[in-house]
């Protein structure tokens, strides 16, 4: 019986495991993600606007990948990539559209 219980637990853990993958898009904030920065214009550049929205409006860094907006678990690393095209490696929670970030690098 213990072996059966361990087998069931192991199968459940493996079926819930998600694979890491790469996402490419623009680091922005959740207030301006789909609308763009022209409406807020909280600085002379899009990067300045992103950072101002994060600090001044309690916005969150997100990845805009085409028509998809993904929340990012890491809210420190994206700062240096504000308004830049990046490659995010991580695990996607499809239900919440959130990426558990492993790394962020400039896209080539």
Domain CATH code at residue 72: 2.40.50.500
Would the pTM count as exceeding 0.85? no
Residue 82 placed within a domain:
yes
Q: How many CB atoms lie within 10 A of CB 86?
A: 21
Residue 7 placed within a domain:
no
CA pair distance 36, 25, nearest whole angstrom: 14
Domain that holds residue 52: 19-106
Task: Please check the confidence at residue 55 and state whether its pLDDT lies above 60.
Answer: yes
Residue 38 placed within a domain:
yes
Of residues 108 and 89, more confidently modeled: 89
- Confidence bin at 34 (pLDDT 50/70/90): confident
If we measure between CA atoms, which residue out of 6, 50, 1 comes closest to residue 28?
Answer: 50
Residue 57 placed within a domain:
yes
Q: Is 7 helix (H, G, I), strand (E, B) or coil?
A: helix
Distances in whole angstroms, Cα of residue 31 to Cα of each of 19, 27, 35, 68, 105: 29, 12, 8, 14, 23
Tally the domains of the chain. Answer: 1
């Amino acid at each position: 019986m213990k072996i059966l219980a361990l087998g069931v637990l192991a199968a459940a853990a493996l079926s819930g495991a998600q694979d890491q993958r790469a996402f490419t898009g623009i680091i922005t904030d959740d207030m301006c993600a789909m609308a763009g920065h022209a409406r807020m214009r909280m600085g002379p550049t899009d990067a300045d606007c992103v950072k101002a929205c994060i600090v001044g409006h309690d916005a969150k860094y997100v990845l805009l990948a085409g028509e998809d907006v993904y929340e990012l678990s890491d809210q420190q690393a994206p700062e240096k990539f504000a308004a830049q095209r990046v490659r995010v490696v991580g695990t996607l929670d499809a239900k919440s559209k959130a990426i558990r970030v492993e790394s962020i690098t400039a896209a080539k």
